[in-house]
Amino acid sequence: MSENHIKVAVLDLYDNVPNQGMRCIKEIVEAHSGKTLDQTLSYHIYETRYKNELPHKDEYDIYISTGGPGSPYDGEGKAWERNYFDLIEDLWNHNQRNYEKKKYVFFICHSFQMMCRLFQLAEVTKRKSTSFGIFPVHKVNSGLEDAILGSLPEPYYAVDSRDWQVIQPNHHAINDLGAEIISIEKERPHVNLERAIMSIRLSDEFFGTQYHPEADPIGMTMYFQQEEKRKQIIENHGEEKYNNMIEHLNDPDKILMTYSTVIPNFLSNAIYALKGEEVLY
């Protein structure tokens, strides 16, 4: 880390599948460069799942680990997953030993599920049906005052797209790590199922969300209004779900607020800490 420059590693778990998430992450990092303490940000993308590419833990200050398709168990027994888990453990252990130069990591959706597996924070199981759409997310515990989520309304809204879920928290492991669940799934009184965990703060430096905070309303609206994609969503989820998504994407108090808050706050807090400024968690 030079005096006015901070390096970001993007760990790509999309497995070479076309997606909107990578575009959104790049745009957020590029837009944030120079905004906090005049620190410029540069990034490099590592195709972790597709090509087993990973950075050395000492090369970067901030890490963003992406969403991705399929099961969070797809990598079991494969080199890329072993190497990915080794990197995350190295970064975690580095932070336990080093009190001045921490490493900051943000986990999104698929990465969040894998992180929960690695640290044994909860059960990661298949959902009865796909969760797809824009849904309210409820803050719990210190989530109401959290440095990343605290400025969002209660509830706040997020893009959700997953066949898997994180449930049945392992409170012993969570307490041992000093982690905390800070948001959970929308309440569904008519459904007799446990509400899934939607975000966890593992530490001041490690943060993860089950949803997609990188989803931008303008790009997502244009994407979903493409005729082929519109037909696909209506066919799989119904016209009412499609119209509801477009309405929420156009509401500035929903996805735009989440997009403008979660990862930007994470980046700002990381930069403040890396430069020795006080951060309120």
pLDDT at 191: 58
d(CA 133, CA 246): 10
| Helix-then-strand count for the chain, H and E | 9, 9
Averaged over 250-276, what is the pLDDT? Answer: 93
Quote the tokens at residue 191: 């459904």
Q: Is the per-residue pLDDT at 93 higher than 70?
A: yes
pLDDT at 176: 97
Cβ atoms within 10 Å of 264's Cβ, excluding its own = 18
CATH ID of 5-216+255-274, from 3.40.50.880, 3.40.50.300, 3.20.20.140, 3.10.20.90:
3.40.50.880
Quote the tokens at residue 146: 């959290």
Q: Is the per-residue pLDDT at 212 higher than 90?
A: yes
pLDDT at 150: 94
Q: Is the per-residue pLDDT at 137 higher than 80?
A: yes
d(CA 196, CA 251): 25
Angstrom CA distances, 123 to 102, 165, 167, 195, 256, stand at 28, 8, 5, 12, 31
Q: Is the per-residue pLDDT at 254 higher than 80?
A: yes
Mean pLDDT of the chain: 92
Averaged over 18-45, what is the pLDDT? Answer: 96
In single-letter form, the type of residue at position 165 comes to Q
Query: Higher pLDDT residue, 272 or 219?
Result: 272
pLDDT at 10: 98
Q: Is the per-residue pLDDT at 162 higher than 60?
A: yes
Averaged over 141-158, what is the pLDDT? Answer: 94
pLDDT one-digit tens code per residue, 37-57 = 999 999 999 999 999 999 998
- Reference 127, options 169, 74, 163, 166; nearest CA is 163
Quote the tokens at residue 16: 């070479």
Averaged over 69-78, what is the pLDDT? Answer: 97
pLDDT at 192: 56
d(CA 48, CA 74): 13
Q: Is the per-residue pLDDT at 129 higher than 90?
A: no
- Segments in 125-203 forming alpha helices (H): 171-177
Q: Helix %, strand %, coil % for the chain, to 5?
A: 35, 25, 40
- The vertex-129 CA angle with 132 and 70, nearest 5°, equals 75
Averaged over 100-110, what is the pLDDT? Answer: 95
pLDDT at 229: 80
Residues in the chain: 281
Q: Is the per-residue pLDDT at 193 higher than 80?
A: no
Q: Domain locations in the chain?
A: 5-216+255-274
Whether pTM exceeds 0.85: yes
- The vertex-23 CA angle with 212 and 148, nearest 5°, equals 40
Query: Higher pLDDT residue, 99 or 43?
Result: 43
d(CA 137, CA 159): 10
pLDDT interval class at 251 (50, 70, 90): confident
